[in-house]
Amino acid sequence: QIRSYVLHPYRMVKDLRTGVESGNPSAILDGDLDAFLEASLAQGAGNLRPDGAEA
């Protein structure tokens, strides 16, 4: 499971890999994934050595 969507009784989307949460699931379902993508890229970049190889 990558992302958890709760639409009732409260509204929230949580990315389980990065821990990023949004209280606006309508925007996420409409394609506004920037916060999730940025967190995933930042998390992935932290796993690379300066030469580009995985740590």
Whether pTM > 0.85 for this model: the answer is no
The answer as to whether 53 is a domain residue is: no
DSSP for 33-47, written as a single string:
-HHHHHHHHHHHHTT
Which pLDDT belongs to residue 47? 72
pLDDT tens, residue order, the chain (55 aa): 999 999 999 999 999 999 999 999 999 999 999 999 999 999 988 875 555 555 5
The answer as to whether 51 is a domain residue is: no
- Total domain count, the chain: 1
Q: Which residue segment(s) compose the domain that 20 sits in?
A: 3-45
The answer as to whether 29 is a domain residue is: yes
Question: DSSP E strands: which ranges in 1-55?
Answer: 3-6, 12-15, 21-22
